[in-house]
Amino acid sequence: MENGNKQLRLRWCSAFALALLALVEADGFLVEITYVESAVAKGAVCLDGSPPAYHLAPGFGSGVNSWLVHFQGGAWCNNVTDCLRRSLTPFGSSKEMAKQSDFTGILSNTPDYNPDFYNWNKVQVLYCDGSSFTGNKEEVDPRTNLHYRGARVWQAVIEDLFAKGMNRAENALISGCSAGGLTSILHCDKFHQLLPVGANVKCLSDAGFFLNVEDIAGEDHAATFFNDVVTTHGSAMNLPHPCTSKLPAGMCFFPQNVVKHIKTPLFILNAAYDSWQIANILVPGDSAPHWQSCKNDISQCSAKQLMTLQGFRDHFLEALEEQGNSSTKGLFINSCFVHCQTEMQETWFAPRISGAW
C-alpha cells in the first residue's frame, strides 16, 4: 500500500503540471542580451575568454527600485576535458549564447502570473564558467586557453548592475535554478553585503539543494565530483568561510554544510524527488542500465526502485532538518519528480503561498 501511495503522489504531480500547462498560456517576453565588455580588462571572462553577459528587463512603476537577479543553471565542469567541451557551448562562451531570452515564470512581466515581481528590474545572469561563479585561477594554460574566473564574473556582473541602478535598490532578491540555485546559496551573504544599508535583501534557491549522499553502488560520486570542480576552478577561497574553516572545500559545495551559516533570509524551493539529482547523483550516468526507464519515467519504476527513491527523499528531508529552525529560513518542498520550478510558467503558476515576498 505504501508503494502505491508513493506512485500516486508522483503521478499526481505530473498530472497536475500537465493540467496547468494546458490552462496557462505562454506569457513570456523576449529580452535582449547585454555583454559586459568592461569585464574583460578585469579578467572576468567566460571559460573561453569571452565577456560575460546577462539579460535585463527594466523595472517600472512601483518596482523601479526593486531588483531580481536570477542566475542561470547548467551543471558544472570538473576537469580540463569537460571544461574544454563546455567552452564550445553557451555555458562556456558568450559567443554561443542566444541574443534574446524568453522571460517567463519568476521573470514574467504579467501581474496575474507573477504578482510579486512582475514590475521589478529582472536580470537573468548567463552561466558561462562551470563553477557556480566560484572559480578564480590567475594562470591560463596556453594549450587550452581555459579561463577559470567564475568569481570574477559574478563580481563584474554585480558591478555592472550597480552602475545601472541596483546601487539604489530598496528591495533585492538573488535567485537561481539548479547550479544557479546553488549560486544563490553560496553568494547569498556576499550579495547582501554589497547592497545599500537598509535595503530589503533576500535569497531564493530553486533546485539548488544538492545532497551529499552515496549512489546506489555505495560510492561517494557527488562528493568526488564537487571536489574535482573546486580543484579545477580554484574555488576554495570563494566558498563561505564558516564552512571551509571546518570542512574540506569540496564539502562546501553541498548546501547542507552551508545553509545553517547564512545570515541573510533564504528560501529553499526543491523537490524531494529531485529528478536531476536522482539521475546524476543517486544513479549517475549509465552506471545502472536497468534504471534508465525509471529515471526517464517515474511510472516505470519497480517497487524496489521506488523504495530507493523513498530513501533518497528521506535523506533529503533529514539534511534539511539538520539546518534547524530559524526565522530567516523558509522552504517549500514538494514530492514531484522535477528539477527547477521557478522558470517555467506552468510550475511557477502552480500552488502559491500568499503573503509578502
Q: How many degrees, rounded to 5, is the angle at CA 81 between CA 76 and CA 82?
A: 20
For residues 157 and 162, give the distance between their C-alpha atoms in angstroms, rounded to a whole number: 9
* Cα–Cα distance for residue pair 220/211, rounded to 1 Å: 11
The answer to whether 145 and 49 are in contact (CB under 8 A) is yes
Active site residue 274: yes
C-alpha closest to that of 54 among 88, 99, 92? 99
CA distance 240 to 135: 13
Q: Which of 131, 178, 184, 205 is catalytic?
A: 178
Give the residue numbers annotated as catalytic, written as ranges.
178, 274, 339
